[in-house]
Structure 1
């Protein structure tokens, strides 16, 4: 009894001591533990998605592939497979499994290290969300404490959903939603028993059981999971027998990009990173852009086709590299494959190594190991490139172009393998809605993987004749009209001690006095210079700023008339939108709305719109109307010192960023940096915000109508505009302007169509290179060479793009302002026509600026004026 009493005392002391130790340990390890209730609103690391305006996927950004699912969206077969595999007593325990813990402790003491955790699903959730992966007693105790707390605060359904959305299944797939798509290309709800069992076996060792890398191990693991499910009575023997007999049937599926828009995706990524930092890649944002799938695909096709055509016209520049000479020992397939690993395909143009070549055909190995045959039809275009302005003769055999041992570029076209090359020329397209600034399509270069430089927003290039509509707008606001006659004659200016300046037309053809409309449509340079002199360089330069052109980029000398100023394609598109929308300076934007991962709207863009339907009396009164009918346009310069009409002040947006830098994200971010997804915080506007009115509706209407003449020219076909190629569209509601800089280093076309304004630019990144000359018909040695210009290089891209976009869009009539009147004028003089005849034509005028004098009529050698007085010409 004595020993029994001592034993009892020791037992009580041990129990009490153990309790004290447990409580002390609890209080010690529970200090500073996180609040598990945060898991109710946990933010799983989910990639950012960039989407089109229709919701089509453009790009994803983020290390983790995850498609979070709600508990009710996870099929029972997946839940049962995970429970059978990871935690068979999940629904019975209170967060920890004592048997599992004792087993892990025994193995740890036996092996002198803790290699097994004995963790429940709840413990694994606690560890992954709150703790480090270290294996120690202290971390294990914290894990247990957190697991018990979680069981008190969260339901079993919430815990299992967290687990299945969190765990790593391998191949960058996190969560069951992403794993189902990555390995089977389907949604989790469509998984079969066999598929669910395979996925349930992966989290234990994602790399070791990867079904793509190690299919045999994955199959064995899947069968073990099915066996566990049978033992736990989750499935019947019949289901087990059927599932275990199925093959793996796995693949590797990545999120399917609906269409290519890499420069758009990068703009969206940079914008999101600037606003949210690294969390932009993990918080599951859905960024809806303004890009239209149809517009972007059409732009891609148009730009790609023309760049390839240009590159072929200017000749073959030779192989990428020569691996061995024909007389040397040929490389084997292993050596060839190693060499090709350093090259990738660009826009369906792929690297290949020539292994055989003769007069009629050549054989080449692609980077995927496939051997292709190139016949003469695939090389007959390949004139040798001599310079940008000169190409050699057409080839006569295959072996004269490509030889054994050369690393070349090829592409498949109409089932024929053709010799190709990576273009050096680049281009940009910006297509926007002129009424609100939404960017519908954007291309920043031939291939984003070759060059990430975004030429649409970053390339500052000389604008050439594309500037003329803006200077003529200034002239109309100064008092000229579309009927004002300006002399199309050579100009020479020579100042003492300075070089003689002789601006020339291109081509150098001069027609004498012409109306302003004709001068704009035919892009007469000397007429533009005379107009600039008439209104004053300073006046014109300041006027250009109304269109959003940056002050520092505007040259302030007479070369401004010929387009010496430099702007980005985006700035040009924005400026032309002012003409297209009736005089309003809209702000282009790319981000339409942003949603949080669960679909909560956290930002909706509110664009400034062109108020075309507003009944606003124009504040741009023409104070120089009395000069509009002067016989000598130079007299207009007398009014240069007059103050220009009061204008609405514009925002300082010289260095425009997209989207606008002043987007009110401060309403979306809490003081602690977290995102506020309460929909009530979204900035809403009951009334629309209108863009600044920068030129009058009347001036915008006149210039827009004149730009239609660049397409259709004179109704009697007595002259053609520089954009006459656009007649192929068969529409009279389109217009635009070509632009070609000195030596054809930059070519442009900017044009409008219903609800769309599109700018196209092409050139070399090397400013020293000119676009040169080439035969437009590359297969005809007798065809003349033609200089590359805006009309034959940029305009066809615009036409191709618009042909696809306007296919089902009805033609629209222009609504003219009430103060615009139509007057019959004489074609030659621009004065009033006495009567309709072949020498007269209707012309638009701002009311009060129309001519007041009649044109004289010639009879033999006599001329009769409007009062009937006749005099001899000689």
Structure 2
């Protein structure tokens, strides 16, 4: 039966729910209208978009503030075009990169906004955009870039208004004519002309995908910038998305990815281009792309324009000369070690040679440093207590690596020099001693020294082994120069910087250089390194007396480096006021001819240093304190000399029982590897009791002993006179002494006028002599082991107590004695 009361109750609930939903909707609608009205009342009219003046240029100067290095956008290269004059490829790529639902929404993409809000809440920040192309037009035209909710609401309100007043194609045209693409190009027409030398209507899919990827970060992704690999990755990502969205098919995507793009050469109005791009990227990261492009910053850099011009001139000259050595590129960086200020930067010899990646700044790239890394390992060893006088053996050596294969480094020349001081080893850049130094210093300790000195690239410690000291870990040239600057300042790190001062368009100082010195090494360690690297005589046996590292009467510390397969050549060096690093090689990592860093990089380093320091006072380095170590190997001595008393029968160390006539004093000379005498973790401590427990000891020791047999070692007089004995005399012992059996007379017996003596001697060795004494008078002797003797007492013998003593000697000098008391009357 129909339940009227129940029906009425249910109907009332539904009616209430509907009323609630209607009320809620009206409440939200009214709230939205009020919010819209509140934020819209003071907003500009979107129809004013065509009347907006967009930018003020940022200018980058040298350190004087007089030489303009670059006007970040100067006169904006902007040519407005109609929608019909824009390639459909560009339209599709732009929508793909910036706003895939552009033709579907009404100015606001609610899903994107929700996703951005959720991300912001999760990250506790307000950084996610979620902006449509329409919103970006509004933001770039009317609003600031502040990250506030009120600004986002205003942006949304204006975006809806813009969509109401203009068609989608008109809005997209506004965007494409407005957005910055880098290299002073504003708008798609200027960008197409700047990068590809063609009209926007003629751009193909591959070019369109690349251009569409630039607005996200124009400096970072610039085809003339420092990150061509990342630019290519972004282009390919956009092509992948274009395929997903149906703008191109699979074959068109593959063809576009494979297309080699031919860029127009960048404009030559830029000075010190690698340095400027380095500064520009710094500014972009710190202040944002928009402020960099539009807010009229005045940037005073640290660059010395005169020195920069000379560096570029010399780099071009020597790059041409290096072609015969198959080295097609050169790079240079110079710093003031006392401040860290970058004086000169040449990232390649020709920034505008895009065919050979001339725009790549090698100074900021990871390259293997070869032997140029050695001073860092030596400095670490000196911190531990080793010194320039410490001796290691430069002999063919296998190094245990913890796996089945051993490491066998060789010197550059293939020759070995036997015992060498660490000073000679570093000055001559010997490889085998350097590997030993790294082991003694400690791999982790050396990486710590590099890190503390400003090298940031050696992060995955598991990748590195003993080859690190020969350049097995990549470094940035600018950071290696910074580390050499620590030696120049006697232990103080001054982080490298390109900025002196930054002002806004109203002349307010936004940023100003402040030195942030930090001690990372002791004065003594740095003076030791500098004393080695500045000693021309010490390196002469390897480099000659007039190498490119020698600056005549101007003291300079310098080191070269050459990597395996001759892929990199280096020259690094400094005076107290200037540190310069030079790299030579090929950007594609191909090998040069077999020429060392001293030949391919040394000439540029030499000539730049002389030019940069011309007319400046000659500065001298402070000498290190003298080495006062008295321990073998640490004090420059490697032959262990010791006088030892030896038993000439056993050949072992004499004891108190060894007869003097069997004792001889001998001089012993011993030569061992350093681990025999030195505990690497406590160099100044006692000799290791069990040196063979060190994992490198056996290999190092066998290498030294084998080398001592070579004609060169013998010619140097390094042959030793037998092993130093460690065992004591086991011939002349109590157990081996002759035993005497005296049958008569008996202890305490009495003799009248005659003594009857009957004795026998036995022992481990044959009896050689028996002597019999009455008191202290010898009364008989024999060379036989037994004796019967009748001895008449002298007439003047005093009655009373007397001593009878028998001494027996064996053939090895052992002596046995027996003494008794007797009485006479």
- Please give the TM-score of this superposition, normalised by the length of structure 2: 0.45
- Please give the TM-score of this superposition, normalised by the length of structure 1: 0.43
Higher RCO (C-alpha 8 Å, min separation 6) = 1
Larger Rg: 2
